[in-house]
Structure 1
Amino acid sequence: MSKKLLSERDICTKFISPAIEDAGWNKLTQYLEEVSFTDGKIYVKGRLTTRGTRKRADYILYYKPNIPIAIIEAKDNKHSVGSGMQQALEYAQILDIPFVFSSNGDGFLFHDKTNEIKIEQELNLDQFPSPESLWEKYKLHKGIVTAKAEQIVEQDYFFDGSGRRPRYYQQNAINRTLEAIAAGQNRILLVMATGTGKTYTAFQIAYRLWKSKTKKRILFLADRNSLIDQTKRGDFKHFKDKMTVIKKRQVDKSYEIYLAIYQGLTGSEEEKNIFKQFTPEFFDLIIIDECHRGSAREDSAWREVLSYFKAATQIGLTATPKESDTTSNSEYFGEPIYTYSLKQGIDDGFLAPYRVVRIGLNVDLEGYRPEMGKTDIDGNEVEDKIYNRKDFDRTMIIEERTELVASKITEFLKGYDRFAKTIVFCRDIDHAERMRSALANQNSDLVSKNHKYIMRITGDNDEGKRELDNFIDPEAVYPVIATTSELMTTGVDAKTCKVIVLDAEIGSMTKFKQIIGRGTRIDEEHGKLYFTIMDFRNATDKFADKDFDGDPIRVKPLPQDADLGNIIDEEDEDTTPIIDELSGENITEQLTPKEPPTVREPAEEYKKSKREKIIINGVDVSVLVSRELHFNKDGKPITVNLHDYSKEMLQNKFHSLEEFLTVWNAADKKEVLINELAEQGVPVDALLEAVNRDCDLFDIICHVAFEQEPLTRKERANNVKKRNYFTKYGEQARKVLNALLDKYADEGIENIESMEVLKVNPVASYGSALEIIQSFGGKPNYLKAIKELENQLYQIA
């Protein structure tokens, strides 16, 4: 048989795989075929979700299981030898792989990122490089020049037999870290979005360094008890009896892995500085979780711990690197050696996408000026001035505003899912308590059945804190709604959180990212594939900020440039009070004793703060505007008119109505084309919502891009029935086609294209899937009939 007639898979089997194996690559341990390395982006369509296409490499070659070093993109022999190179290069960049090959079965085009003189060359099939030759080039490229460095890099991952392996970006972060340490770097920063497995990544780094005996004593530092407990019970549990948590005043120095919170190591008095019971050289490696918090500040007690153990290799982990006038992670740790952003996580399908509903209240958007003689609830006259959104719940409480916010949250949940786990972020503890009460009144039917339906979970409230684990537990029904101020901004792994409500001013980008991160985890088992943000304070304006998903930019002046002393910019500085989960005590001051930032709401000042607020009622509060924000393919909000934005996007893709019709009719499956449009940034679901939910996307595109009058799906289905073209089919097949038309009218084209439609009514009432297919004379004839049905549906006069 001519090579030109072979499929791509045949080319792989008959030519590419034998060439790889002849070069010395072991089929069982050193190369994988058809490797999917992303999960496929999740697209939200109303309440339904679909997955986009996974990124898949034809071959990935590994020197060892933890070290991918080459990628091959295969094409059939009708293509040239290098036709797969551009796609292979894109994948190689994502996977951090230096050696890239393209092949059509005749030979290979080799792209060598390590060769600055001749970056590409063609090779015959028998010239494919051996594992050893590529490994030698790899080591030179990465600066692995000593036997000790090679020992560090080659150490295998920890495998527990569960089948869990690091995802590609975790693998990149781990390998880059080990390579940096092997090259002598001792300060390392990893930036990974919330929900992407920073602790698992840290464990694999620690395990490989510990197992290779490169680092014998390791300290994992966090700032919350819950984070330490989560780490001990979770990813670090495999260290077993080699691990301990530092809690007591007298430390046991016989362990190899230590977990601790900063405040357990430090104190305002010298004798309380437990970390000094260790010698400065005791730890070889320190991993700092959430290092954007206190450790970023030069004058903090947290930094004192790191400075004391300065001989140790120190790795900072964060989703939100702190860069401001007075604080810089990159100045301490150096520039991040690897960054995996929220946008990347969503695009890859590892993180949940979000929908944003913005609700603007009249008093927030227009401001509130009290009428003459207006008094608060104690009878005191209210100062005559304009109060705005930043004042509400900070210095002024409007009772009707709280009630309306609670009402809109309840209204949304009733139309969505009343048992969707929801976090309501409030201005402070007092606001969180008032919101809890207002929500309880709005949901009295469910609260009367179980008072834990709504709980305030804040640092000062023991009952609420005890319910934090239940809120996080996917199997626990209650609590459903948690009102909070600061306690749940970090360290809360709430996989099933489906709704985040923002009713607080959020000045810090760091804090905003942390809050959004509470919803980004996916839990397919429990139906959590996306989450909704309800924004009452325009906090989601930060999505439009270039810094939201960009690389951190160092803005802190070096000492020779400026002497700023201890000036703190509240908009940039994370002034979140640190509340110890066990005691409820605000411990921010003891962590930054030299000159702490102003803490807005320590738990012990709760009552005092409440008394200082003006509380009024009898105010007309209403919703001025409520709309869903839509985002482009880069994750930025669409600020122009949705119709105009979509028209431009569609006309860039389809230059005429005729071109669109040709592409639409040629598509084997319309669902694939619809998903492609969504992947390219066309707001498919938003268009259907905005124009007419009962219309097909076909009509929406014709209407928006080419000003055609749209038909509803029902009108299209009826038009087909009037043509009576079914007469060429037998009675059973005619009934099935009529049922499929009804299904199309109700639900759209994607459903009738799926073979699953044969298993549901009304189609299933005409027999089993096999019987229905046989009524058309077999599967090819059935598929042909579906294609003809689509052609009939999309006829344009």
Structure 2
Amino acid sequence: MPKEAQARIKINQLLEAAGWRFFDTPAGSANIALEPKVKLTQAQVEALGKDFEANGHGFVDFLLLDEQHFPLVVLEAKAENKNPLIGKEQARKYAKSLSCRFVILSNGNLHYFWDLQHGNPHVITSFPAPGDIKGYTKFQPDPARLVSEVVPLDYIARTQIPAYDQEAGWQNASERDAFTEKNRLRFLRTYQQRAAHAVQTAVKAGQTRFLFEMATGTGKTLTAAAVIKLFLRTSNARRVLFLVDRLELEDQANKAFTTLLKNDYKSVIYKESRDDWRKAEIVVTTVQSLLFNAKYKQFSPTDFDLVISDEAHRSIGGNARAVFEYFVGYKLGLTATPKDYLKKFDAAKPSTRDPRESERRLLLDTYRTFGCESGEPTYRYSLLDGVKDGFLINPLVVDARTTVTTQLLSDQGYAAVVIADTPDGEQTSEQVFKQKNFEKQFFSEPTNRLFCETLLKHGLRDPISNEFGKTIVFAVSQNHASKLTQLLNDLADTMYPGLYQSDFAVQVTSLIPDAQQFTINFTNNNLLGSANVLPAYKTSKARICVTVGMMTTGYDCPDLLNLALMRPVFSPSDFVQIKGRGTRKHDFREELQDDTLKTQVTAPDKTAYKLFDFFATCEYFEEKFNYDEVLKLPRPSTGQVQGGDDETGPQPPGGGNSYEHTAPDSITSQVEQQVGFQGMKVDRMFFEKFEDRVLADPIIAQQVNDAQWDQAINYITTELFDKPAEYFNLDKLRRAAGVDRRLGLKEILQKTFGLIPGFKSKDELLEDEFDKFLLDQQNATGFSADSTAAAVQAMKYYFKAYATDHRLRDIIETQRLTDLNVYPAFGMSDFKAVPPVWRTRIPEYVKDYVPLNQFM
């Protein structure tokens, strides 16, 4: 079937599915025409379906009509093998002549919705319904008004109490703090105000996507509230969708927006307001709830004019992207993950042993998603900025290593020596745990007891009640969390007899009923009770939450005093998120109900928190982790245990599958070190630029100037690569370039010295190679200038697939063509679309003239 007909059939189905009608039906009169005021008969629809572009006037446009049969939407249709955007200007001209504000561009597979009064075409995955368009017509965005809106520091407070500054409680300076606290007035900090201004600047520049990179504890939700008000108040959004990736964050965000904006705008949680969510201006939901059974398709793409993704690097990953991209309009991403983790990698050869490859891939995608291909967000406020400005706290690191955890550290993984009895006597064997296996297999009761004893002995105490400070412990697994919780409660029963009844420590993992509520109660100081020691002081009876991953991101509990890593951490972004739980400042008098007692507290402010590190995690990221290389696990402090080369490591004698250390354990070293204003390396990473080093070398400069490429490459390989100062090498340079193909050193030098403007992507290079192929073959038999566009498109698809897919090359070369029936990347229909003469000519040309190693 011609691609024109295929596209027409798909477009017809999409229109009918959205509620548009070709013919009069009981539901209403026809609202689709091919020309103004022209309705179609069934026969005409069927006839046009055969070749909708082959009429006497060139293209046939769909014209979608409103209830009064006035033009509402121009739908510009293209064949499947054409990009629908090529009809953009044609559709604009047609729409303006008909006074249409909206355009849909489609080839049956790819669709764009375009509001001519509001920016550029946006990809959509379904067509909007007539009613949705009618509602959207009332939306009259005015970017100029948004840009000129004044956003003062009291932007939110003016919504909470419009005339707060006229109130007696505010005007009396001695009562102002109490007035502010009583009414929960929130004022923007200067850096939050700058974030809103950054959006205004971006909108003025014509941008529709923004990314805020703000450290944990710097008030991303308050900043988001200011942006939401900015868009709603200036009528540049009718409704806002706020996406989170966990249930507890859903409730947390909705409560925050209700507190901050309820006097002007209504906020609801979608699952609690399925029938009347349209009455709200702010809709909060988890990505997962919209993904389930594709619920997001119950919305129209035009239902939300601003979509905000909290923890953007998580909530737009994988299938979640379908939700995020479904809606048209402005997009804002919030993330606490610094740009320095946006490291490049060789996508064609991802390392199966590097658990950070997926993280790199996702982060790179996050920045591109929000229009920040350069790695520079719309606005940034880092942890170090917060510390220097006095809003955040750096950790007091307690590096406490035990005999076992020290011995476990090796280059190959976390390793241990296992002793087994054999008929020939006692023998030793090595067992190496890679990250995943370690988390599943390792358990040592003496070591875990030592972890817990060390934490309870050296952890910070609550300055009001002198109880053990509120703490989060991060465990390896749910089973590990259960064991740690039991140990902590046993120890608390001994240390504080009668004070706790197995409620000192609580397991907060996904298998625990009401675990989400536990996290909320812990923040609100009523987990398993409150005021356990001092009746006038409300603080959670449960002092420690033991979790695995539930409380790592987006969890706000400012009175935390201790964090304990009782597991290794391999990902820098996970590490940043975990230590970010403790960075917030806090005045402990807030929960003290007795004003007399408040005056007696000598140290009410949280000025420090302790980060207990039992696996040398801080040292690992500070000194041993090379952020440009594939992940290597930490070295041991003393000695070294060698392990196997396979992914799981050697198995212990006797076929066992776990290591259990049962001998006594002891702390071998314990050092406390306050992180200064310069922060950790994970916060301040700085990398020497290869280009600077090369440009400063006169020998390389002369060789490049004389086009002595072999000499220059040999010199760099010998004199610069793998030297202790920088450890430059070609693999690292390829990853740093961020190109989706294999670069050569000559090309890197050409870019460094400005001989080429930049690196071409894999597809751009393939396009060049295909153009060369067409020029080379233009006089060959079977090729002519009047070859159909569909044939050339099929040839190009075949050419690119053959050049980049080694499995396809093997299928073609061995003539196992029946395999194409089940080969997803290039199927039998794709092969048959290629004219027969080119099915062999293209492979021959590729093998002879195209250097395939650049696409590996």
TM-score (norm 2): 0.46
Higher Cα radius of gyration: 2
Task: Provide TM-score, normalisation by structure 1.
Answer: 0.49
